[in-house]
Structures are given as structure tokens and as C-alpha cells.
Amino acid sequence: MRNIALVCDCIERFWFFKRFYSSQSDCSLTMITNDLVIRFLCAWNKIPCIQLSQNSPMPEYAQYAERVANSSEITVGGYQQDFACKVYSSYLSQVPAKLAHFDTFLIWNGQQLLDKSIIDVFPQKCVYMELSNLPNKIFVDKRGVNAMSSLFFHPEVLDQEEAVADEFHQQWVGEYEQYKLAPPPQSKVSKFQLYCRAINMLVTSCSSMAGIQNLRYRMKKITPEPVDFSQFNLKNADLSKAFIFCPLQVSSDTQLLIHSDFNNQEIIREAINIAKEKGLALYVKFHPAERNLAEVKEIVDMSRTQGFTLVANNTNDLLRQCHQVVVNNSTVGLESMIYGKPTHVFGRALYKSFDNERLKKYIHRYLISGIDYFADHPVDVVSILNKVEGE
């Protein structure tokens, strides 16, 4: 029997991995977590669980500063480096003894400190998963996700896939447009899930003096709500004129911080140059989840002097009506390709080298279909592993 570990680093992930237990398979599944609330939820649902503690750091923990530098906990402003090193080294000290019996580790994204500790000990046993941001499809890879995936380094593997008929793809595009008209599923977070996250942050942070100190730091960094853009009087722009569309990303997005050499202001400057060269207007849109008010104000000031327009139009309308798109490395770049728009990609994105044929094969051949991350239907872990292992 195959022994599979589901590396569960947050409450949201628990609800997804819990669906693996609803599907019949001959695999043994165990959740690995650093989260006390998840441990209790596993016990309540009679799910096997191993919890790794963050309270037994190695004496030489400071040597891991480089390894933790691009972790999600640090890049989003949550952990101080010293605390992150202690937490990572604590996990690392436990992984070899507690997890050696597993054949495969299913890891979401791979940027959390818990993920990194397992990856560093058992790199050949890890399989990575990530949202595709396309309906009913997820991304799975043996090397990593986004700009760390095998697909990013070897996009030519798509050329070996069976061709996708244009008629079939266009039918899917029509269905995709209908899907985009609904509210984004990411916005559907229950109050119970939010309460669980808050409780866990307090419990884990208050379990040690280092954690209490780091909690104070985190609370200073956390902005409870996205920026209220109504104060800037952003308007719907005229979409009948020729324009380039530049969608911004959340300034704390790990995609932007880890996989790009450009921040939002620098992307705007690149878009300004392209717009001038093409003789087109430039429409820029903030990400609705942006929480950095200082950055928003800086970009608003830029718009008054640099000749671009900040807009409030629906993103789908902007994509359909624009002439070209300038992105860092967000999924909007992939969406613009789906709409057939010329797309300038400045960050490291796995779709950067896609032409139309590769795009179709990525959507319909490479991604795993039939799995909706935000739904509640059972998930067959065997089909996921068979796909990524080429069986």
C-alpha cells in the first residue's frame, strides 16, 4: 500500500485535502501539519495526522537565513528572519525521524517553511500542486509550481502532447467567459475558517517567547482590509478608444516578490514605454485585494504626471476590448492569451513562452481536469499521482 502524506499548512488547505478521504483508493493518507487547529480538526474527522512543533529549534538555526529568505512567511511580512530560522530548523529536526516512512508528499505551492523543511529532506518524494485559476482544473508538477516548475524550464514538453482542435477550444473559451461573470470563488471564505485562522495564529505564536515577539511584529504588518479605492474616485474609462491594459498585482504577492525583478511601479513604466511606442492610451487597474495604501497613493501620484489612466472597469471587459496587455507574471497574462491578445510578460511566468498551440495543450492536456479546488466533491489522489508520473 502506498503511503502518502498531505502537507497541510493552513485551514483552507484542510478543507481541500479532507476531500481526498471521500474517494476510495488503496493508498494510506496522513495529514502533516504545523497547525494546532488542523490537528484538532483531523482528530474530530478521524483523519490520521502528524503535527510538527515549531518550539525545538536547532542551536545552529541562524545558518538557515538564506533558505528561509523567500518563504511565504517572510515575503508577505509575517515573520522576522530570526523567528523564521528557528521555526524552519525546528521542523527540519523532526522531519527525518517522523516522516521517513512516507512514499510521496503532496505539497501545496512549496513556499511555506513547513513545505521547505520536507522538500530539503525528501526532494525526490515531493509532488507539488497549485491553483490553475481556470475552472475545474489544477496544476501538478514534480519539480515545483509557477517559475519553479518543470514546465517553466521545459515548455517544449507541451509540443509532444496531442493537438487540441480549435472548435473544442473555442467552445471551452465560451464556457470560460461565462465562468468569469460569476464572483471569484476565492472570495468565498466562511467566518468559521477566518476564526480558525485567527485562533491558530494566537495559539502558535503565544506558545513561546520568540513567538510572542513575532506576533507583535506580525500585528504591526497586518492591514485588516484591502484599500478603499472609492477615496480616489477611479472611473470607468472609455473602452472604445485604442488602449493597452496593465493589470497590477497585490504588492505582497509572492509571485511578484519571488518570481519577478519588477515591482508594480516598474511594470507601469515599462507599459508607458510600450504605449508610447504603439501610440496607444494606457489603462492601469489596481488589484482589488491590494492592502498597501502607501503604494496605492504613490501610483495615483504617478498617474497625474506620467500620462496613464487608472481605471475601475471590469477586468474581463478591459481584456476583451484592449489591443495589448502588459503584465508582470499574474494569471491575467494567461487570460489575455486565452482572449488572443498580444501579451508582454516581464516577470517569470510559466506561460511566457506559450504560443497558441502550447496554450491549448497546457489548458486541455497538461492541467488535471475534473478537480475544482473550491468545490466539495471527492478528489482521487491516485489520478493526480498517475498524471504527474506519466502513467
Contacts 24+ apart (CB under 8 A), 56-59: 56/90, 56/93, 56/94, 57/85, 57/86, 57/87, 57/89, 57/90, 57/93, 58/89, 58/90, 58/92, 58/93
Whether 184 has a pLDDT exceeding 70, the answer reads no
Q: What is the mean pLDDT of residues 28-48?
A: 92
Whether 210 has a pLDDT exceeding 50, the answer reads no
Query: How long, in residues, is the chain?
Result: 391
- Indicate the pTM of the whole model: 0.87
pLDDT at 246: 97
Q: Residue 288's closest CA among 331, 227, 224, 223? A: 227
Whether 258 has a pLDDT exceeding 90, the answer reads no
Q: What is the mean pLDDT of residues 121-125?
A: 96
The band of 222, judged by pLDDT with boundaries at 50, 70 and 90, is: very low
CA distance linking residue 352 with residue 49, whole number of Å? 39
CA distance linking residue 244 with residue 203, whole number of Å? 48
pLDDT at 221: 47
The band of 272, judged by pLDDT with boundaries at 50, 70 and 90, is: very high
Whether 306 has a pLDDT exceeding 50, the answer reads yes
The band of 164, judged by pLDDT with boundaries at 50, 70 and 90, is: very high
Least confident of 73-77, 113-117, 246-250: 73-77
The band of 251, judged by pLDDT with boundaries at 50, 70 and 90, is: confident
The band of 259, judged by pLDDT with boundaries at 50, 70 and 90, is: confident
Please list, in sequence order, all residues whose beta carbon lies within 8 angstroms of the beta carbon of residue 136, skipping any fewer than 6 positions away. Answer: 369, 370, 371, 372
CA distance linking residue 118 with residue 52, whole number of Å? 11
CA distance linking residue 352 with residue 333, whole number of Å? 9
Q: What are phi and psi of 332, to 5 degrees?
A: -60, -30
Cα torsion through 144, 197, 286, 149, rounded to 10: 0
Which triple of cell numbers denotes residue 148? 519553479
Q: What is the mean pLDDT of residues 250-264?
A: 86
